[in-house]
Structure 1
Amino acid sequence: MEILPDSGRRAEWAALAAAAVTVVLWASAFVSIRSASAAYSPGALALGRLLAGTVVLGAISLVRRVGWPPRAAWPGIAGSGVLWFGLYMVVLNWGEREVDAGTAAMVVNVGPILIALLSSKLLGEELPRPLLLGMAVSFAGAVVVGISMSGDGHSSVLGVLLCLLAAVSYAGGVVAQKPALRHAGALQATTFGCLVGALACLPFAGSLVSEVARAPWPATANMLYLGVFPTALAFTTWAFALARTSAGRMGATTYVVPVLVVLMSWLALDEVPGALTLAGGALCLAGVAVSRYRPSRRKTAAVTAENRDGATQSSAT
Structure 2
Amino acid sequence: MTNSSDSGGRRDWPALAAAAVTAVLWASAFVSIRSAGSVYSPGSLALGRLLAGATVLGAISLLRRTGWPPRAAWPGIVCSGVLWFGGYMVMLNWGEREVDAGTAAMLVNIGPLLIALLGGRLLGEGLPGSLLVGMAVSFAGAVLVGISTSDTGRTSVSGVLLCLLAAVAYAVGVVAQKPALRHAGALPVTTFGCLIGAVACLPFAGTLVSEAAHAPLPATLNMVYLGVFPTALAFTTWAYALSRTSAGRMGATTYVVPALVVLLSWLLLDEVPAPLTLVGGALCLAGVAAGRRRPRPGPPPTLRTGAGAEAGPGLVVPRR
TM-score by length of 1: 0.92
1:280 corresponds in structure 2 to 280
For residue 26 of structure 1, report the CA deviation from its aligned partner. Answer: 0.3
**Is structure 2 residue 301 aligned with structure 1 residue 305?**
yes
**Is structure 2 residue 196 aligned with structure 1 residue 196?**
yes
2:39 corresponds in structure 1 to 39
For residue 226 of structure 1, report the CA deviation from its aligned partner. Answer: 0.2
2:210 corresponds in structure 1 to 210
Q: What root-mean-square deviation, in Å, do the aligned CA atoms of Structure 1 and Structure 2 show?
A: 2.3
Amino acid at match of 2:67: G
Supply the distance in 2 between the matched residues of 1:123 and 1:10 (Cα, whole angstroms): 22
Q: Is the 8 A contact 2:47 2:201 kept in 1?
A: yes
Q: Is the 8 A contact 2:76 2:178 kept in 1?
A: yes
Name the SS of the counterpart of 1:47 in structure 2: helix
2:318 corresponds in structure 1 to none
The residue correspondences of 1:22-37 to structure 2 (distance < 5 A) are 22-37=22-37
2:158 corresponds in structure 1 to 158
1:53 corresponds in structure 2 to 53
**Is structure 2 residue 280 aligned with structure 1 residue 267?**
no
Q: Deviations over 1:136-166 (max 9, x none)?
A: 0000111111101114551111111111011
For residue 216 of structure 1, report the CA deviation from its aligned partner. Answer: 0.2
Supply the distance in 2 between the matched residues of 1:187 and 1:11 (Cα, whole angstroms): 23
Amino acid at match of 1:80: S
1:66 corresponds in structure 2 to 66
Amino acid at match of 1:75: P
Supply the distance in 2 between the matched residues of 1:179 and 1:86 (Cα, whole angstroms): 19
1:98 corresponds in structure 2 to 98
Q: Is the 8 A contact 2:103 2:147 kept in 1?
A: yes
Supply the distance in 1 between the matched residues of 2:146 and 2:255 (Cα, whole angstroms): 12
For residue 177 of structure 1, report the CA deviation from its aligned partner. Answer: 0.2
Supply the distance in 2 between the matched residues of 1:10 and 1:153 (Cα, whole angstroms): 48
Q: Where in structure 1 do 4 or more consecutive aligned residues deviate above 3 Å?
A: 7-11
Q: Is the 8 A contact 2:108 2:164 kept in 1?
A: yes
Distance change >3 Å, CA 153–CA 271, structure 1 → 2 = farther
Supply the distance in 2 between the matched residues of 1:153 and 1:10 (Cα, whole angstroms): 48
Q: Deviations over 1:286-317 (max 9, x none)?
A: 100000011223xx2x1x527x669x98xxxx
1:291 corresponds in structure 2 to 291
Amino acid at match of 2:290: V
Supply the distance in 2 between the matched residues of 1:222 and 1:122 (Cα, whole angstroms): 37
For residue 121 of structure 1, report the CA deviation from its aligned partner. Answer: 1.1
Amino acid at match of 1:106: M
Amino acid at match of 2:230: P
Name the SS of the counterpart of 2:12 in structure 1: helix
For residue 101 of structure 1, report the CA deviation from its aligned partner. Answer: 1.2
Q: Deviations over 1:40-79 (max 9, x none)?
A: 0000000000000000000000000010010000000000
1:110 corresponds in structure 2 to 110
Q: Percent identity?
A: 77
Amino acid at match of 1:24: V
Name the SS of the counterpart of 2:56 in structure 1: helix
For residue 11 of structure 1, report the CA deviation from its aligned partner. Answer: 7.0
1:184 corresponds in structure 2 to 184
Of 93-102 and 218-227, deviating more is 93-102
Supply the distance in 2 between the matched residues of 1:203 and 1:260 (Cα, whole angstroms): 33
Supply the distance in 2 between the matched residues of 1:167 and 1:153 (Cα, whole angstroms): 23
Give the number of the structure whose residues are more often helix, by fraction. Answer: 1
Q: Deviations over 1:253-276 (max 9, x none)?
A: 000000111111112221110110
Amino acid at match of 1:241: A
Supply the distance in 1 between the matched residues of 2:14 and 2:90 (Cα, whole angstroms): 31
Q: Is the 8 A contact 2:9 2:294 kept in 1?
A: no
1:249 corresponds in structure 2 to 249
2:89 corresponds in structure 1 to 89
Supply the distance in 2 between the matched residues of 1:32 and 1:122 (Cα, whole angstroms): 35
Name the SS of the counterpart of 1:305 in structure 2: coil
2:121 corresponds in structure 1 to 121
Amino acid at match of 1:294: R
Supply the distance in 2 between the matched residues of 1:8 and 1:243 (Cα, whole angstroms): 17
Supply the distance in 2 between the matched residues of 1:183 and 1:55 (Cα, whole angstroms): 23
Amino acid at match of 2:301: A
Aligned length: 306
Supply the distance in 1 between the matched residues of 2:215 and 2:19 (Cα, whole angstroms): 33
TM-score by length of 2: 0.91
2:315 corresponds in structure 1 to none
